[in-house]
Structure formats: structure tokens, C-alpha cells
Chains A and B, each alone.
Chain A
Amino acid sequence: MSMDSLRETFFAECEDLIESLTENLELVASHEWDTETINAIFRAVHSIKGAAGAFGFNDLVDFAHHYETTLDLIRSDKLDISGDVLRVIVRSADNLAELVDGSRIEGTPVPEATHGLIDELVQLSGATPDEGAVEEEFVFTPVAALSIDIDADPIERFEIALMPHASLYLSGNDPLRLISGLEKLGKIHVECVTEDVPDLDTFNFDESHLSWRLTLEGTNDEDAVREIFQFVEGHCDIQIDPIFADKPAEMHAEIPAADLAEPEPSIPDDKPVAVSQPAQRPPKPSGATQAVQSTLRVDPERVDRLINSVGELIINHAVIDRNLKESGLVSNSEITTALDDYGTLAREIQEGVMAIRAQPVKSLFQRMGRVVREAGEATGKSVSFITEGETTEIDKTMLERLADPLTHMLRNAVDHGIEDPARREDAGKAVEGIVRLSAAHRSGHVVIEITDDGAGLNREKLFDKAVEKGIVTADAKLSEPEIYNLLFAPGFSTAESVTNLSGRGVGMDVVKTAITSLGGKVAITSSPGNGSTFTISLPLTLAVLDGMIVEVGAETMVLPLSSIVETIRPAASDIQEVTPGEWVLSVRGTFVPVVNLNALMGLDQPNDTDSNRVFVLIDANDATIAVSVDAIQDQRQVVIKSLKGNYGAITGIAAATILGDGNIALIVDTEALSGLAASRRFSQSHEHLELQF
């Protein structure tokens, strides 16, 4: 990140702050303000001041400081907002905005009104212009000026006595770190004084009992030594004695605690902390006429609306395309060629709009590097972490919501995937395991893969475990992917013992739920002895959904493809009624509860044993249900339209969409459906779901 881009951030932020400042001042002017209005005004000015300091915009800092002082008085009810006060603070806001603008180009003169306004602000706050805290805050004595005169007797060593108070331990400070800090300055001898530690029966855990005697050789920089203790002043008794060559030690080991408890004479109270020096000035742009690059900041809602419209444009193209083909036009006619161009353009627009919300996965991947390192340390395994496709961009919201599932999967890869070093050696593999995290765009999806070069998944073991846990029956015949998918069943764990690292009661089922909620899918491939690959496939945007279009009575509805396992047209004998109104479907030896979508939606109530009905197996909420519908129409992308704003939240319905023919179709909330099925309430819940179309 260059300083220039940081400056852009600063100016963009200033624009926001000044906008908020102006809006809130308008509220004050129209007598519609409360304490939060004043707080917001104060904070805006305060933030501008704080950030401007980092760039060395001294005129801006100085003016903001005086402005802030007056606002602080208003904030703390020490100054009423009279007509005069209001006039000054409103004009000051304008002046502040001008100062910000002027700071963009070096050498811009301070706005004329500045000095007059400072005088007025000072008058209001009752301070004199020269005494303001601004000097105190922004002019710091450089450390060099405080250095002792090293031409005097050379310091041979420092003798330091340190006795922490209990408060030191409550402030995030740690004597060990202080000692490590000293160690960097020279050769150190440490002696811990334990004589004051009481017997166990009189031991008070809230008190500090240890003290240290330290000797530091190899440095004569007393300031550097004192700097180490800059934050513990008052949290400990400390004595730092420089011992000069040829001089006997004045202070020695036997220091009673009482002596130490005296106020630290060797640390002047007013000594500025070392950090408070002016920051290094950023390089100024050369030439006063340098063009100011501007960023455009847009309300995310507007972008979402645009994404929506573009999604519809794409769908619209598909509809025209299909109609044309059905009309029997030759494929090289002018209109089809023009339509192809239209399609290309529409997709270009879509990509452009999505890019606004997209961010590279790099930051997320970097965080994951830490997860793998920590997991490696915790398990005593040596693991190298490789990332690929860090520049792949993905929707910002998805990026945020991927952190948890990825963390879990990577921990699993290290903990369960990679073998112990000894076992790897036996297998003739490199001792260091490899975990690879990659991202790529593949046919309209973002694909994230987690690969380990460990032992791979043991199919027999997985299956036996699933049988043992009652997830499948022993005679179930499962395909390879189906067996791997058992990993995602709730409560499933392959480790013989629960480890600290990944065995925390939550399993891969949570990962799957998280990915599904993003409209994505997870697949597993594994090869014994060579490792496993978990492939997460995500849509490019949360605004579009891959859906299966189904017919339910006279209605068309959409089932999210990401939660569909398979579709079945079963024999009548596979469907059985367990209690009145409760049906189950037998799928390869397992019984799955049936949800009749027609009945649930308050439409007609066809018999599920009707041989024309189609059953869609849906995996949601860690359970499988069979949703019965009249027919399957199609499978395509739909644009998600929220119902909440325009209609209200309805249990069982996630959103709606507009189909190519202009009709509205409801998108089914599969999690809610499975919840209804699981709680066996759906026979009574028709009222909740009855809809007026």
C-alpha cells in the first residue's frame, strides 16, 4: 500500500466525516438535536484531527484542535449553543472542509477565515491561543535530546531492582517480557528474589510476591533501559542505577522492599513517552498541480440493485435465445448474431458489476496460514502450507462467511489428514506434510480446494462408524462419494479420540451448513495413502441462485440446487403412511420423511402414492427429507428477490424470483421445510403457509 493510496483513504474518509458533520450541524440549527448529535459532531472533527496528524497537515490539525476544544465544551454542557456559538461552529465546519481540500495539494494557502475563526473559537472556549494543549500534544521532545551526556564516565553496567505490584499483572504487562526487552540491549544477569513469598497457608493470590535483581552489561543507553519500563511506571517499584567504570556499586542486593517502595526518584514524571514523537512525514507529491485521484464510494444497496437487474438481463437473454431457437430461425441469421452480441455484452456488464463487490481471497488465505501453523504446532506435525490463486476475487459477504468453515476444514486436514511424522516416514513420504489451499474461477463458480497429502479417507472405517452411530444401516449400499459424504453427518467423528484441536463437539456438518447457506456445495475426493481433497464450489454472487424449477399445483416454485441430493420417482410400495398424514419414503433401506409441497402450500392435496409424483431429496439442517412435487420443469439460475420488504417473512419461503415468462415463482426455504418435517408439525401448520397468489 503506497502512501498515496493511504492519502486517498484519508481524503475519502474526511469527505464522509464532513458530510456527517454538516448534516448534524443542520439538525442543531433546526433545533432537532440531542446529545448523540453533538457527540457525532465532536467525533467527526476529532477523527479528522487524529488522522491529519499522521500526514503532517499541521494547519488542519491546529484548526481542528481549536474547533474540537470548543465542541468539547458544548458536549460537556459547559457552553450553550447560542446564536453566536452556532454561527461560529457552522462557519468552522466550512473552514475545516476548505482546509481538508487545501491539504490535497501542497502549498495551498490556509483559507482566509482560519485565523479569525481560531480567535473566535478560543474566545468561546476561554483559552488563550498560545496555551492550548495543542503544543503539548503535537510538539514532542525527541528522545535524542534527552540522552545523557555520554562523554562523562562510561557506564559499565546497570543495576536494576524490580518489584512489580499486583496491578502490573492486571494491566497486560509481564515481568518476563520486560526482562526479555532488557536482554536485547545487552548481556543480562537475572536473579529472582523469592524470599518474600509466604507459606502456602498465608499465601494471598491477589498479591505480588516476587521481585527481581538484574544486572545489564554492554549498553550505556540509559534512556533505552528506562524505555523498557515506560508502561509499568506506578505498577512497580523500580530502581535503575547506572554503575560507572571505576566506581564501586552504590546499591547492592540487600534492598528492603520498604526502600524500593519510595516514589521512583529516577523517573521524572514529566518525561515524555518515547513514542510521542511526530510521525515521519509522508513524502509529498511533487508539483502542486498533481492530479488528485478520486475514489467513488457507493451505497452497497445500489450495487445490489444493479446486480439484480443485470441478473435479470442475463435471464432475459436466455429466454429470447430459447424463443428464437424454438421459432426455427437459422442459427446464422442476423438476429441470432445480434443476440449473441447482446449476450456477450450482458455478461460483460455482469462481470463488471460483480467486480464492485468482489475482493481477492488473499487476506482470508493469509489468515488461514496462521490456522495451519497453529494446528501444526498443536499436533506436533510438520506441515507446509501452500496457497494458490490468491488473487481470485469473490463476493465480500461470502469472503467473510468463509473464514469459519475454512478454519475448521484446515484444522481437520492437519489433525486428521496429515499423518504423524513417524508414520509418514514409514510410508516413505517426506516428514513434512503439505496442506494446499487454492481458489479459482471455474465455469461461473468460485472453486476453493483444500488438499492434504495425508493418509486419505478410510472408506471401511467411515462406513463402520456411520453404522455404529446409526446414521446408515449395515446393509446400505453406498457409492464412494456417498461414503465420504457421511463425514458431513451430524455428530460424526473419525478420530478414535477427541483431540484438543478439531474435536470440539461440532463437526463437519457445521461446515456443510455454512457452505450451503452461501448457496455452495462441498465434495470430497480421496485416495488412500495420497491424501484427500475437499472442493467447495460457490456461486459468484449471493444475488443469484442455481435452482430447480418445479410445478406444484398451478404454481411454479424453485428449490435451491445446492441442497438437492437427488430426484426420485419411486414405486408406490416405497411410500408408506406411518401415522395419519405422515408419510415416509424408503430410499435404499433408509426411511425419509415426506413433505407434500402442494399440501404445505395450501394448494390441492394430491396423493403421494400417485405414480406421477416426483420426489426431490433435500439435505438441509443435517437431515434429509423428500419433498414431493407434481413435476420438474427445468434447472436454471434465478435472481433472488426478497419478500420481506414487500410482503413479509413467511416460514418455508426464502424469497421469490421472476421467471423468464414474467411469472413469479417462490423460492423454497429448504431449512425451514426440514425443520417443519423434523418437528412433525407440518400437518398443523397449513395456516402459517397459506398464501394468496
Chain B
Amino acid sequence: MSEKTVLVIDDSRTIRRLVSQTLTDGGFASVTAEDGALGVEAFQKERFDAVITDINMPNLDGFGVLEAIRTGPSNRKVPILVLTTESSQEFKDKARGLGATGWIVKPFDDKQLIEILNLVTGANAA
């Protein structure tokens, strides 16, 4: 099976590096974008197996990213995980309403991030 590629959208370069490294170690390829607008642009250029996005970002926030991607013609199926420090139910509901597949609360655990990605992308399926 070919390597799955994940688009990582986060304005913090520490988090971008941290997530990319975790993904590489977990057998995923990654492309990073430093804000929502660049993320959506990157998404339109290449085919991704999953998207991980921060919420609070300049230019376009994570909710905007969800909206932009989900309103695209054939993007209903790509799993989008929200990576955030917020864990309130209200927040999750809003993200879900916009089509988020799931969420990961910062600080995240490496192994579980990979497990979740394996689950939502169907990578390493037995």
C-alpha cells in the first residue's frame, strides 16, 4: 500500500514540526501549511488522505478550513481532524457541524495520533 499523505495546517511552526515528525515516524507523509488560507490552497493542489488542522489561525481559521474543504465538489470523504487546545463540547459540536471527522486535543500523544489516523484513513488495515 502506498504511503498516505496528511496535510497539516497550523500556524505554530513548533506544532507543525512536531506533528510532521510524529507522522513520519508513524509511516505517513506530510505536507504543512502555516495558515488556513494556505492550507486550503495546498489542499486544492494535491490529493491528501487526511487533513489535520488547528482552529485558531490567521487569515482563515480552522472552521473556515472545514467549510472550504467540505463545500468543495468531491471532498466529503477526506477525513479532517481538528487539532486544538479547546476541548469543550460546544466547540466540538461546531467543528462537527462543519464536517470535522474527529478531534485531537493538544498536547497530543504520538502513538494515539497515529492510531487515530490509521483508523480514519484506513491505513494499515488488517
Contacts and interface: CB of A to CB of B under 8 A. Distances in A.
A553 B71 CA distance: 59
A10 interface: yes
A369 to B, nearest CB: 8
Interface residues of A, number: 56
A303 B119 CA distance: 45
7 contacts: A6-B17, A47-B11, A50-B12, A170-B99, A234-B96, A275-B116, A276-B87
Interface in B77-122: 77-80, 85-89, 96, 99-110, 112-113, 116, 118-122
Interface string A33-44: 000000110110
Given A172-B76, A230-B102, A280 B109 contact: yes
Given A54-B106, A231-B102, A273-B103, A172 B80 contact: yes
Given A43-B58, A54-B15, A171-B100, A6 B21 contact: yes
Contact of A275 (B5, B56, B100, B113): B113
Given A180-B126, A370-B5, A172 B79 contact: yes
Contact of A54 (B14, B77, B79, B119): B14
Interface in A235-277: 235, 269, 272-277
Interface in A270-312: 272-280
A509 interface: no
Given A231-B101, A275-B112, A46 B17 contact: no
Contacts of B11: 43, 47
Interface in A129-156: 133, 136-138, 140
B85 A137 contact: yes
A181 B120 CA distance: 9
Interface residues of B, number: 50
The 9 closest A-B pairs by CB, nearest first: A231-B102, A172-B101, A53-B107, A279-B107, A172-B79, A51-B14, A276-B105, A180-B125, A10-B14
Given A46-B85, A137-B86, A373-B2, A176 B77 contact: no
A188 B80 CA distance: 27
Contact of B21 (A1, A133, A184, A234): A1
B68 interface: no
B66 to A, nearest CB: 10
A133 B85 CA distance: 11
Contacts of B86: 137
B104 A275 contact: yes
B57 interface: yes
A185 B105 CA distance: 24
- Interface of chain A, main secondary structure: helix
Contacts of A138: 107
Interface string A157-201: 000000000000111111011101101100000000000000000
Contacts of B79: 172-173
B99 A172 contact: yes
Contacts of A51: 12, 14-15, 18
Nearest to B29: A370
Interface in A606-630: none
Contacts of A133: 88
A13 interface: yes
Interface in A18-66: 39-40, 42-43, 46-47, 49-51, 53-54, 56
A137 B105 contact: yes
Given A9-B14, A373-B3, 9 more contacts: A51-B12, A54-B108, A171-B99, A171-B100, A172-B77, A172-B78, A173-B79, A228-B119, A273-B105
A374 interface: yes
Given A280-B110, A374-B2, A275 B70 contact: no
A377 interface: yes
B15 A231 contact: no
A43 B3 contact: no
A137 B105 CA distance: 8
A430 to B, nearest CB: 22
Contacts of A171: 96, 99-101
Contacts of A181: 118-119
A5 B108 CA distance: 19
Contact of B85 (A13, A53, A170, A234): A53
Contacts of A49: 85
A279 B120 contact: no
Contacts of A10: 14
B107 to A, nearest CB: 4
Contacts of B125: 177, 180, 183-184
B101 A137 contact: no
A559 to B, nearest CB: 33
A87 interface: no
Contacts of B101: 171-173, 231
Contacts of B116: 275
Contacts of A177: 119-122, 125
A43 B2 contact: no
A47 B12 contact: yes
B77 A174 contact: yes
Nearest to A377: B2
- Which residue, A172, A176, A280, A366, has most C-beta atoms of chain B within 10 A? A172
A279 B111 CA distance: 10
A401 interface: no
- Which residue, B5, B12, B108, has most C-beta atoms of chain A within 10 A? B12
A440 B37 CA distance: 35
Given A9-B14, A51-B15, A183-B126, A275 B99 contact: no
